[in-house]
Amino acid sequence: MFLPVLLLRDYGLLGFVVFGVPNVIGAAAMGWILPTPESARRILQQHAGACRLFSAITIGYHAFFISWLLRIWWHNANTPSSIWIVFVLGMVVIAVVWFVRSKSSGRGLATVLWLFSAAVLAVTLMTPSPPAATQTGLQPVTDLIWFTPVSFFGFALCPYLDLTFLHVRASCDNARSRTAFGLGFGILFLIMILLTLAYTPVLLPMIQNQRTPVPMLMGVLLLSHIGAQLAFSVGVHNRRFKVEKNHERSAVDPFFVPIITIAGIIGLAAPFMPTIHSMSGHEILYRSFLSFYGLAFPAYVWLVMIPPSRRGYSSSPTQRAGALRVWLIAIILAGPFYWAGFIAGQEIWFVPGVLIILLARTFLHRPASSV
């Protein structure tokens, strides 16, 4: 998780809160909002294409981020970095290969990774951090007010396109689902979010191309934590994607090979991009990936997945076709406002962007029988 690092830089601790609260609540609420396992299976059936696109973008995002992170770490960590890079890359490769070839549910590995990350948090907090060369809270807190609706909108709706979340909900009865989502996100995931507070002093100077003294132990632990979490996320999305497309015989779904390759190359080349509105090229690309989770995906759930006539997560093919047209027009109209907010640093333009998406529901077709 890197977005909270940027929000800490821009808005201080309040930015971290605006990231963490809707993230935790939005994901945990899925265990209650989807009333039955059948509702999750219905989403997987009726919105398979959107769910697969969500996994594809997520895997591409991870490939971009790790390649960019390792590049800036190599150049800006003020200690020998080659050992760390080789170690982490090797670990990521081994973890991905093992996981995609194993037949286990992944719960055991998830438990091990969580315990490892919790240990990293404890050790990192006890290790003297390098002095942060970049201040936090650089922008007025009032700007955060305009970003808050985008954060809540995205984190509240994106979970319903996540193949891994939907698989868990479809596999659990109501009681187990509420326990899994409530405990998993309300407590365990929250602890992982808090870990970002520990590595913010390390990453903030690096993304500004400033040489940063990083103790060897801290560097190995932090890169191992990020690499392990990334490998696990890619592995579970790859597995669910293969199951949905019946490609279980291959280790990595062929669809992901060019995505991972291209995204990785872009991550390596990102620092050479020109700046826009004083924002570096790699941050522009990073925020461009986030636009899927802040605009395109939540707008899809709001306009296409939730039918206009009644509560639920199903609709007829005719309704979905019309809703897709409304969704496409809405995100095209809202896109420039999101660009102004995310890239140009004019957060107040988020307001009309979000309003366009919210009000677009008034253009959805309602069946004649609806009241």
The reported pLDDT for the residue numbered 371 is: 36
CA–CA separation, 260 vs 279, rounded Å?
25
Q: What pLDDT band is residue 180 in, cutting at 50, 70 and 90?
A: confident
Q: What pLDDT band is residue 71 in, cutting at 50, 70 and 90?
A: confident
Write down the residue that tokens 């490998």 correspond to: 231
The reported pLDDT for the residue numbered 275 is: 76
350 φψ region: left (φ > 0), alpha (ψ -120 to 50), beta (else): alpha
Using DSSP's 3-state secondary structure scheme, residue 131 falls into coil
- How many CB atoms neighbour CB 95 within 10 A? 20
Query: What length does the chain have?
Result: 371
The reported pLDDT for the residue numbered 278 is: 74
Greatest mean pLDDT among 93-107, 138-152, 193-207, 255-269: 138-152
CA–CA separation, 80 vs 74, rounded Å?
8
Side-chain half-sphere exposure of 81, counting CA atoms within 13 A: 18
User: What is the per-residue pLDDT across 249-276, written as a single tens digit (0 to 9) for each?
Assistant: 555 566 677 887 888 888 877 777 777 7
Residues 6 or more apart in contact with residue 300 via CB below 8 angstroms: 50, 161, 327
Using DSSP's 3-state secondary structure scheme, residue 134 falls into coil
Write down the residue that tokens 């970095």 correspond to: 81
Greatest mean pLDDT among 34-38, 140-144, 205-209, 214-218: 34-38
In order, the DSSP letters of 163-197 are: HHHHHHHHHS-HHHHHHHHHHIIIIIIHHHHHHHH
Q: How far is CA 36 from CA 51, 110, 174, 178, in A?
A: 19, 25, 6, 11
- How many CB atoms neighbour CB 116 within 10 A? 15
Higher confidence at residue 114 or residue 174? Answer: 174
Average per-residue pLDDT for the chain: 80
Higher confidence at residue 56 or residue 122? Answer: 56
Q: What pLDDT band is residue 139 in, cutting at 50, 70 and 90?
A: confident
The reported pLDDT for the residue numbered 370 is: 40
- How many CB atoms neighbour CB 39 within 10 A? 18
Q: At residue 156, does pLDDT exceed 90?
A: yes
The reported pLDDT for the residue numbered 354 is: 96
Higher confidence at residue 342 or residue 98? Answer: 342
Give the type of residue at 122: A
Residues 6 or more apart in contact with residue 73 via CB below 8 angstroms: 81, 84, 85, 206, 219, 223
The reported pLDDT for the residue numbered 369 is: 46
CA–CA separation, 246 vs 249, rounded Å?
8
Q: At residue 217, does pLDDT exceed 50?
A: yes
The percent of residues in the chain predicted with pLDDT above 70, rounded, is 80
User: What is the per-residue pLDDT across 12-62, written as a single tens digit (0 to 9) for each?
Assistant: 888 889 998 999 999 999 989 998 999 999 999 889 889 999 998 998 898
CA–CA separation, 31 vs 49, rounded Å?
22
> What is the 3-state secondary structure of 17-76?
HHHHHHHHHHHHHHHHHCCCHHHHHHHHHHCHHHHHHHHHHHHHHHHHHHHHHHHHHHHH
The reported pLDDT for the residue numbered 221 is: 76
Greatest mean pLDDT among 101-110, 130-139, 360-369: 360-369
Q: At residue 238, does pLDDT exceed 50?
A: yes
Q: At residue 191, does pLDDT exceed 70?
A: yes
The percent of residues in the chain predicted with pLDDT above 90, rounded, is 26
Least confident of 42-46, 187-191, 205-209: 205-209
The reported pLDDT for the residue numbered 10 is: 86
Greatest mean pLDDT among 135-139, 180-184, 245-249, 309-313: 180-184
Q: Which two tokens stand for residue 200?
A: 């913010």
Q: What pLDDT band is residue 112 in, cutting at 50, 70 and 90?
A: confident
